[in-house]
Amino acid sequence: SQKIEQNSEALNIQEGKTATLTCNYTNYSPAYLQWYRQDPGRGPVFLLLIRENEKEKRKERLKVTFDTTLKQSLFHITASQPADSATYLCAYQTGANNLFFGTGTRLTVIP
Amino acid sequence: GAGVSQTPSNKVTEKGKYVELRCDPISGHTALYWYRQSLGQGPEFLIYFQGTGAADDSGLPNDRFFAVRPEGSVSTLKIQRTERGDSAVYLCASSLKVSGQGNYGYTFGSGTRLTVV
């Protein structure tokens, strides 16, 4: 069955450092991956979408990579700030237009 | 509206009762999705509408769950004979196009927290 794993449930990082979150998928070859941010009590907020033919995509302090050989996407936040603390979800779309989400990584940026 | 609106934000109901959860998507968004999220988990797909029709309802867990979108905008998720296991946050999302066309993701509402006691 399809499976999408995010490397850790929780990640703590010092302010100013680069946070790297990992998303691995199996038994499927998605055409693209999406990353979302979710704060407590709120719905996920779309951050970035990367296609299989794009190795890297950037948006301000965010960078996403997509390695179809390793079946992995990496999500980086450079110069992390306490306000970046949230849960980050990766997701891919299955053939029928529904997004399949990982369980998320809860990032805490320590001042 | 400016975002996806879901009402109520919280709903407590007794086991066996019927509930309706409402979603008001962003104006002009033709695609609408319902997801369910349990604590510590990612959102789990329930149903997808393109316009008025349910294009994919494969995520609905059983026949107690039903959703409609009669005029292609507002959608209602209906749960009959609620069970304690139905307790979760029910999220609605909408998108202008099918996700992946362009660089569009989904816009989610804040969800309805359903508690079945």
Cα dihedral value A57, A63, A66, A71, nearest 10: -160
Measure in Å the smallest separation between the Cα of B96 and chain A Cα atoms.
Answer: 13
> Can you read off the two tokens belonging to residue B16?
């066996």
CB-defined contacts A:B, below 8 A: 69
**CA distances from residue A56 to A28, A49, A52, A64, A108 in whole angstroms, order as listed:** 20, 10, 10, 6, 24
Buried-exposed string A62-75: b where 16+ CB fall within 10 A, e elsewhere: bbbbbeeeebbbbb
Instruction: Pick A96's closest partner by Cβ from B56, B100, B111.
Output: B56
Q: What is the pLDDT along chain A (111 residues), one digit of tens a residue?
A: 667 888 778 999 999 999 999 999 887 778 788 999 999 999 999 999 998 889 899 999 999 999 988 999 999 999 999 999 999 999 987 655 678 899 999 999 999
| Residue A75 identity | F
Cβ neighbours of A46 in B, within 8 Å: 104-107
Q: Tell me the longest C-alpha to C-alpha distance in chain B.
A: 44
Question: Taking CB atoms and an 8 Å limit, are B43 and A41 in contact across chains?
Answer: no
The predicted-structure confidence for A36-63, as pLDDT tens digits, reads as follows 999 999 999 999 999 888 989 999 999 9
Q: What is the DSSP letter of A85?
A: -
Q: Is the dihedral of CA B46, B50, B54, B55 positive or negative?
A: negative
Instruction: Pick A42's closest partner by Cβ from B103, B106, B110.
Output: B110
The predicted-structure confidence for B35-52, as pLDDT tens digits, reads as follows 999 999 999 999 999 888
